[in-house]
Amino acid sequence: MDDSDFDTKSRIIELLDVRGKIAFDYAKKVIYHQMSDHTERTATSIACANIAFIKYWGNRDSALRLPVNGSLSMNLDGLFTRTTVSFQNSLGFDELIINGHEVMGKGLERVSAILDIVRQNAGLDIKAQVVSENNFPTGAGIASSAAAFSALALASTKAAGLDWPEFAVSRLARLGSGSASRSIPAGFVEWKMGSGDEDSYAVSIAPPEHWDLVDCVAIVSAGHKETGSTEGHALAPTSPLQAARVVDGPRRLEICRRAILERDFDSLASIIEHDSDMMHAVMMTSQPALFYWKPATLAVMGSVREWRYSGLPVAYTIDAGPNVHVICLSESASTIVELLKALPGVENVLIAKVGPAARLEP
Ligand code: DP6
């Protein structure tokens, strides 16, 4: 080996070093990028479903989901959606995965509309992946859209670096699904109809530990409902009964609020059944008419009334579906569950105590 061989070899080593350094720097950049996508722009939240005691039915502005009346609900502990939102530079479009299945079309558009608001406020110009899991049947009168959009609102604002106060997250959730505004605060929650977009959001009127109520949800059909709430709200003004329901709204709201604050079960029972019956009367007299009840729904309603007349503190309320939410005190929950399970047509009974606020997972 002479000197020139030595020179050539050391030049090759030098060259390899430079290329190695470039490759190393590039790999470092890619890894850094991926890590920053995950550490800085990802958040996971959990939000409960809720059951309305005074119902939201009809909008005065359907694009902004500004309701025609205020509403009041109880969060349902243990019936929840867990959602992870991650904004990623590598995505060409928003992705939505619910219970392991990719969702496209209208469902994705509704989610993207919320993400667009978040992006605008955070000055972000990248798409997001949304992965969501429900632990209860979707579309059967348990407000899955409430849990879904409240979890989305909380996770997406956090992932985008926005540190919004509760009322602002509730307002954002409202734009995705009206009832979702009520799943952001804790316990017993009132959604103020407000004068416009700015002040239409939900607030907690009492924490979960205020009153040991239990919702025993009698499932009489776990299938998908035929007409979703969004279409239903649009039909509300076609019923001549809706105007009367709306005018009387503040009175019912006040009775219900007071019943909760004073833990007055009798008063709560009569107002929630009355409010639920009024909403269903509007539904049944809309054009086209909406009938959500099945024969088993009526059978459960009748039994609940009989049990109450015989001294058990129990009442029913029904959302836009056939299942009956049977509200009782926790001390009589096991009796009520047994009674419900013995009724023909009751397939299953879900049990939920008063639930907490929507929260972020560490
Ligand atoms: C009968 O909130 O589901 O459950 O805003 O179109 O998503 P969108 O409607 P949604 O309506 C709920 C209707 C209800 C009553 C209630 O929860 O107040």
CATH number at residue 269: 3.30.230.10
Give residue 106's domain range: 42-361
pLDDT attached to residue 225: 63
Tell me which DSSP letter residue 281 carries: H
pLDDT attached to residue 221: 85
When divided into structural domains, the chain yields a total of: 1
Element (DSSP H or E) covering residue 216: strand 213-219
Q: Which of 50, 54, 56, 177 to mutate to test ligand 1, by most ligand atoms within 8 A of the CB atom?
A: 56
Tokens representing residue 46 in the block: 């959990």
Q: What separation in Å is there between the alpha carbon of 112 and the centre of ligand 1?
A: 20
8 Å CB contact between 136 and 350:
yes
Tell me which DSSP letter residue 212 carries: -
Tokens representing residue 85 in the block: 């939102």
Q: What separation in Å is there between the alpha carbon of 141 and the centre of ligand 1?
A: 9
Is 36 within the bounds of a domain?
Answer: no
Is 20 within the bounds of a domain?
Answer: no
Q: What angle do CA 72, 73, 74 make, to 5 degrees?
A: 150
Q: In 10 A of CB 23, how many CB atoms?
A: 10
8 Å CB contact between 332 and 322:
no
Is 19 within the bounds of a domain?
Answer: no
Is 11 within the bounds of a domain?
Answer: no
Cis peptide bond prior to 356, omega within 30° of 0: no
Nearest in space to 68 (alpha carbons), one of 180, 194, 232: 194
Nearest-atom number in ligand 1 for the CA of 141 is 4
In angstroms, rounded to a whole number, what is the distance separating the alpha carbons of residues 239 and 253? Answer: 21
pLDDT attached to residue 327: 98
Measuring from atom 4 of ligand 1, which residue has the nearest CA? 319
Q: Which residues pair with 72 in a beta bridge?
A: 54, 190
Quote the distance between the C-alpha of residue 284 and its chain's center. Answer: 25
Please state at what angle helix 249-261 crosses helix 265-284, rounded to 10 degrees.
150
pLDDT attached to residue 227: 85
Question: Does 56 sit in the ligand 1 pocket, CB within 6 Å?
Answer: yes
Q: What separation in Å is there between the alpha carbon of 349 and the centre of ligand 1?
A: 22
114: Cα within 13 Å, side-chain hemisphere: 33
Q: Residue 336, SS3? A: helix
36: Cα within 13 Å, side-chain hemisphere: 8
Q: Which of 184, 229, 231, 246 to mutate to test ligand 1, by most ligand atoms within 8 A of the CB atom?
A: 229
Question: Does 150 sit in the ligand 1 pocket, CB within 6 Å?
Answer: no
pLDDT attached to residue 342: 97
DSSP assignments along 163-182, one per residue: ---HHHHHHHHHHH-GGGGG
In angstroms, rounded to a whole number, what is the distance separating the alpha carbons of residues 202 and 185? Answer: 7
Q: What separation in Å is there between the alpha carbon of 114 and the centre of ligand 1?
A: 17
Measuring from atom 11 of ligand 1, which residue has the nearest CA? 229
Question: Does 230 sit in the ligand 1 pocket, CB within 6 Å?
Answer: yes
Q: Residue 90, SS3? A: coil
Q: What separation in Å is there between the alpha carbon of 312 and the centre of ligand 1?
A: 29
In angstroms, rounded to a whole number, what is the distance separating the alpha carbons of residues 249 and 252? Answer: 5
Q: What separation in Å is there between the alpha carbon of 309 and the centre of ligand 1?
A: 30
CB neighbour list of residue 78: distance below 8 Å, 6 or more residues apart? 48, 135, 351, 352, 353, 355
In angstroms, rounded to a whole number, what is the distance separating the alpha carbons of residues 123 and 117? Answer: 10
Q: Which of 184, 233, 278, 293 to mutate to test ligand 1, by most ligand atoms within 8 A of the CB atom?
A: 233
Question: Does 179 sit in the ligand 1 pocket, CB within 6 Å?
Answer: yes
Is 14 within the bounds of a domain?
Answer: no
Query: Phi then psi for 312, rounded to 5 degrees?
Result: -85, 130
The sign one gets for the Cα dihedral 208, 213, 216, 222 is negative
Is 15 within the bounds of a domain?
Answer: no
pLDDT attached to residue 224: 67
Q: State pTM to two decimals.
A: 0.88
Is 179 within the bounds of a domain?
Answer: yes
Element (DSSP H or E) covering residue 232: helix 229-235
8 Å CB contact between 148 and 180:
yes
Is 351 within the bounds of a domain?
Answer: yes
Measuring from atom 7 of ligand 1, which residue has the nearest CA? 177
Tell me which DSSP letter residue 332 carries: G
299: Cα within 13 Å, side-chain hemisphere: 14
What is the residue-level pLDDT of the chain in tens, covering all 362 positions?
Answer: 455 555 655 665 565 565 555 555 545 444 444 544 444 699 999 999 999 999 999 999 999 999 999 999 999 999 999 999 999 999 999 999 999 999 999 999 999 999 999 999 999 999 999 999 998 866 445 668 999 999 999 999 999 999 999 999 999 999 999 999 999 999 999 999 999 999 999 999 999 999 999 999 999 987 766 788 999 999 999 999 999 999 999 999 999 999 999 999 999 999 999 999 999 999 999 999 999 999 999 999 999 999 999 999 999 999 999 999 999 999 999 999 999 999 999 999 999 999 999 999 99
In angstroms, rounded to a whole number, what is the distance separating the alpha carbons of residues 132 and 96? Answer: 8
pLDDT attached to residue 9: 57
Q: In 10 A of CB 120, how many CB atoms?
A: 11
Nearest in space to 72 (alpha carbons), one of 355, 296, 214, 275: 275
Q: Residue 44, SS3? A: strand
pLDDT attached to residue 88: 96
Q: Which of 149, 179, 284 to mutate to test ligand 1, by most ligand atoms within 8 A of the CB atom?
A: 179
